[in-house]
Amino acid sequence: MISFMAEALDMAPGQISLDSRLAEDLGMNEPQALELLPWFARRFNIDLSNLWPAWDRHFDQKSHVDQSVSEKTVAFTVQDLVDAANTGTWIRPD
């Protein structure tokens, strides 16, 4: 998963860990996440339907504009992506 994220974000694998948060640590904004996650789902055959209803809890207008995180935003990590890949579905409770 680290190699996948490094390729997707054009970063060195050493810059990414399982604890890396997509927005806060890797600098991913909402448009980038909306492009990456469907690609991720196809690549690893993952059902992300549980993610979309809570999408605004992960990316909100403030994080889109200045990449800071508001109190209502729930960060997700590379480990969350690994967990989804292992189970085939988005399982992180929000």
CATH class given for the domain over 2-87:
mainly alpha
Rg of the chain on CA atoms, in Å: 12
Backbone phi, then psi, for 47, in 5-degree steps?
-90, 115
pLDDT in tens, the chain (94 residues): 999 999 999 999 999 999 999 988 999 988 999 999 999 999 999 999 988 888 888 775 554 444 444 455 788 899 999 999 999 999 865 5
Q: How far apart are CA 44 and CA 94, in angstroms?
A: 22
